[in-house]
């Protein structure tokens, strides 16, 4: 049995200013994001962590620095675990691309999951690249308690599919910067133990 902690990275300036931040934006944490990263350490007091995995993006890597220090571990980074590529929407304010976002969300919610932003990825592509990498890591790891520091849209995609909601219902997955999702994996299936844990965040 493997124990997974799927965590959303800390806040960046793009999060705060409500701008699209996908695979094409490699932003660092802001002050609030660094505090959120420190707060994650408090959650793991008295718990085991034997491996720490991140995407290749700075905001995920920076979010595990305090945790790596606490457990004396080095993080492993993988491009397969990067956020969805939002293509031509990258870096734009939500309000400025509202119609595009509404259209995408309506398509995805109705099951048209092959739809993607211009020059970007669709949910199926993101799920395949990320889930296969995570299952590979789990299969090859002797470690039993593994932290994955990931991204908001990616977490919605993974959890909705792993937990049987289906990708079209990904928006039912709640998340915020620094939130923790605790799951188990028995080599056959993922099960949720507790989702969207935020009591460690002093907001």
pLDDT, tens digit, 9 for 90 and up, residues 17-36: 999 999 999 999 999 999 99
pLDDT at 180 over 60: yes
**How does residue 202 score in pLDDT terms, banded at 50, 70 and 90?**
confident
Q: Strands 2-8, 145-150: parallel, antiparallel or unpaired by DSSP?
A: parallel
Rounded CA-CA distance 107/114 in Å is 9
Three-state SS string over 73-103 comes to CCCEEEHHHCCCCCHHHCCCEHHHHHHHHHH
Domain boundary assignment for the chain: 2-197
**How does residue 181 score in pLDDT terms, banded at 50, 70 and 90?**
very high
Average pLDDT rounded to a whole number, residues 100-117 = 97
Q: How far apart are the first and last CA of the chain?
A: 33
Mark residue 196 as left, alpha or beta (left: phi above 0; alpha: psi -120 to 50; beta: remaining): left
The CATH T-level fold of domain 2-197 is Rossmann fold (3.40.50)
Strands (E), the chain: 2-8, 51-55, 76-78, 145-150, 180-185, 190-197
**How does residue 16 score in pLDDT terms, banded at 50, 70 and 90?**
very high
Element (H, E) at 68: helix 65-71
Mean predicted lDDT score pLDDT of the chain? 98
C-beta neighbour count of 186 within 10 angstroms: 10
Rounded CA-CA distance 67/52 in Å is 8
Predicted pLDDT at 178: 98
**How does residue 203 score in pLDDT terms, banded at 50, 70 and 90?**
low
What is the model's pTM? 0.97
């Amino acid at each position: 049995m493997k124990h997974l902690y799927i965590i959303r990275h800390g806040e960046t300036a793009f999060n705060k200013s409500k701008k699209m931040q996908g695979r094409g934006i490699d932003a660092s944490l802001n002050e609030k994001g660094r505090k959120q990263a420190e707060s994650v350490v408090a959650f793991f007091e008295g718990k085991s962590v034997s491996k720490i995995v991140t995407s290749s993006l700075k905001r995920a890597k920076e979010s595990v620095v305090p945790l790596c220090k606490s457990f004396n571990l080095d993080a492993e980074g993988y491009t397969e675990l990067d956020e969805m590529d939002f293509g031509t929407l990258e870096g734009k304010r939500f309000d400025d691309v509202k119609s595009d976002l509404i259209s995408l969300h309506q398509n995805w919610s109705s099951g048209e999951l092959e739809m993607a932003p211009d020059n970007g990825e669709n949910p199926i592509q993101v799920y395949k690249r990320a889930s296969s990498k995570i299952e590979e890591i789990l299969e090859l790891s002797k470690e039993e308690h593994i932290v994955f520091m990931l991204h908001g849209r990616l977490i919605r995609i993974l959890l909705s599919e792993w937990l049987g909601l289906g990708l079209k219902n990904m928006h039912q997955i709640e998340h915020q910067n620094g939130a923790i999702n605790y799951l188990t994996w028995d080599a056959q299936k993922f099960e949720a133990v507790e989702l969207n844990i935020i009591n460690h965040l002093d907001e």
